[in-house]
Amino acid sequence: MKAIIEYWKNESSTFDFLCEVINQNSFIQIGKEDFEYEKSPRCLALKGLLEIAPDDQRVIDLLRDRAANDPDDLLRQWATEQLTKIAPQ
């Protein structure tokens, strides 16, 4: 995932691929007090989108959705923290 973001971030299909990972991947981190984003495909994809298009409304909407609806408690918390950094209410 990191290689895709690093080497193909300017490809138009990369944005769509990362959105698909966020919406379809079912990974949940279990038994960790500290969130290890490197192990969460959804989080890596969100980080990639934040790097590629931090001001894109679709990215902000995805973060909001993950902050409210992600099945992984730690990812919800991480997404909420990212939202406060880029889109303070």
pLDDT in tens, 3-53: 677 767 777 889 899 999 888 877 665 555 555 666 788 889 999 999 989
In contact, 75 and 29? CB cutoff 8 Å: yes
pTM of the model: 0.77
Phi, psi for 35 (deg, rounded to 5): -70, 125
Task: Kindly indicate the confidence band of residue 63, based on its pLDDT and cuts at 50, 70 and 90.
Answer: very high
In contact, 29 and 35? CB cutoff 8 Å: yes
Phi, psi for 31 (deg, rounded to 5): 75, 20
Among 59, 68, 80, CA closest to 15: 59
